[in-house]
Amino acid sequence: MRAFTATQDWLTVVQLPSYTPDLNPVEGIWSLLRRGFLSNIAFTSPEHLIRTIRQGLRTIQYRSDLIDGCLAGTGLALTPA
């Protein structure tokens, strides 16, 4: 593969780590959900679980500071440098 990509001028290959949850802002959102909305609950049905997750996501949606914190924790930016 390296020999092939080296002969292609138009192709840029970037080696990414195999698993990097610390670079994924969604992991921060799931962490907020687990700690704030999904802990210490015995769900009575799948619908109960879905309602609780939706409620948590709606709450997080209106707290831009939480979303910014999840993004800042990755070291990534929304705007190009």
Over residues 39-68, the mean pLDDT reads 94
Say how many Å lie between the first and final Cα of the chain, rounded.
30
- pTM of the entire predicted model: 0.64
Q: Which pLDDT tens digit goes with each residue over 18-38?
A: 788 888 888 999 999 999 889
- B/e letters for 60-81, b = 16+ CB within 10 Å, e = fewer, are beeeeebbeebeeebeeeeeee
Q: Which residues contact residue 28 at a Cβ distance below 8 angstroms, ignoring those fewer than 6 apart?
A: 69, 70, 71, 73, 74
Q: What is the pLDDT of residue 16?
A: 67
Name the band, by pLDDT with cuts 50, 70 and 90, for residue 79.
Answer: confident
Q: What is the pLDDT of residue 81?
A: 56
Residue 76 pLDDT > 80, yes or no? no
